[in-house]
Amino acid sequence: MSSISAADIDHHHDPSTSTGIPNKKLLMWTFLASDCMFFGCLISTHLIYRLHPPPGVPAARQIFSIELTSFSTFILLMSSLMMALAVNAIQKGNLRSLRASILTTVLFGSIFLGCQVYEFHNFVYEKHLTITNSILGTTFFTLTGTHGTHVAVGVLWLVLMYIRSFKPAGAEAAKGTWLLFSFAHLVVFAATLILTGYVVLGVARAGQADGFNLKMIGTYAGAQYPALIATLIGFLGLRWFALPRGEVDFDQRNAVDVEMMGLYWHFVDIVWIVIFTAVYLLEYIS
C-alpha cells in the first residue's frame, strides 16, 4: 500500500477540475438544490392544507407528542456532529475514529427512525390518525415519511461506507472472497439493526402498558428470548467482522466519498429542522 500522508492531499482543492471543487461534491450540492425543491413542494402542500382545513379534521396538538419529537430532533442534530467528526477523521486518515463516528451516526439515525416508527404506530393505533382518514394524516404521513425515507437511505449509505472501509488492499482484493464477506457483513448489520429496533420498541411498549420495572423486563425477556439471543449473536457477529485483517483499501483519498455522504446527511437534518418548525412547533403557537 503506497503511503500517502495527509499533507499530500488538499481536501479543499481538486486540481483536476476547472473550479477546484471535486466532481462528486459538486454533484451532491446540485442534487441537494433539487432536493430542496422536492421538500419545498411537500412542505407547501402541508402548510396550504393546514390553512384550509375541512370540517372535522383532528387537531394536530391533540395528536402530537412534542416531548418525543423534541428528543428525536435533538438526537438527529447530534448525529450531524458525529457525521462531521467522521469526515474530519477520514481527511486525516484516522480509520478507527472514522468507524467509531460512522457507527455513532448510524446509532443516532436509527434512534430517530425508531422514534418515528413508535410515533407512527402511536398515531395510527391510539390517536386514530391514518393516511386516509383525514387531510392532516395524508400530508403529515407523506411529508414525515418522505423525510424518514431520506434518513433511512442515509443510514444504509453509512452502513455501506462502514463495510467498505474493510475492503482489503493488495493481493486479497484480487480474490472474490472479500465481496462475499462484505455481503455477509451487510446482511448481519441490517439484521442486527432491525432486531435491536424490534427489542427496544417492544420493551418501550411493554413498559408503557405495565410500567417500567424489573418484573416487566423479566416478563418481556422470558417471552422474547429468541429475539434477544439473536440480537446478541448479531452484535458478536459485527464485532467479529470488525476484527483487524491486515491492510485495507480505504484512506484519506476516500475523504471525498465520506464528505459527499456527509453533505447529504447534514441536508436531511436541516430539512428536519424546517419540518419540525413548520409541522410541529407551528401547532403550539398561541
Of positions 85, 107, 173, 200, contacts other proteins by CB under 8 A: 173
- Close Cβ partners of 5 (under 8 Å, ≥ 6 residues apart): 93
131 part of the interface to other proteins, by CB under 8 A: yes
| CA neighbor of 7 nearest in space, from 93, 94, 98, 85 | 93
Of positions 3, 7, 8, 243, contacts other proteins by CB under 8 A: 8
35 part of the interface to other proteins, by CB under 8 A: yes
Query: Contacts by 224-230 with C-beta closer than 8 Å and gap 24+?
Result: 224/199, 227/195, 227/198, 227/199, 227/202, 228/199, 230/191, 230/195
3 part of the interface to other proteins, by CB under 8 A: no
Within 13-64, where are the H helices?
23-51, 60-63
Of positions 4, 153, 187, 273, contacts other proteins by CB under 8 A: 4
- Under rule CB under 8 A, which residues in 236-255 are in contact with other proteins? 249, 252-253
Of positions 12, 38, 215, 219, contacts other proteins by CB under 8 A: 38
**Packed helices 66-91 and 255-275: angle between N→C axes, nearest 10 degrees:** 160
Of positions 3, 5, 7, 54, contacts other proteins by CB under 8 A: 54
Stretch that binds other proteins, among 60-68, 168-176, 195-203, 221-229 (CB under 8 A): 168-176
**Burial of 55: CB neighbours in 10 Å, binned 0-12, 13-18, 19+:** exposed
Task: List interacting residues with other proteins (CB under 8 A).
Answer: 2, 4, 8-9, 14-19, 21-23, 26-27, 30-31, 33-35, 37-38, 40-42, 45, 48-49, 52-54, 57, 131-132, 134-135, 138-139, 142, 146, 160, 169-171, 173-176, 179, 182, 249, 252-253, 256
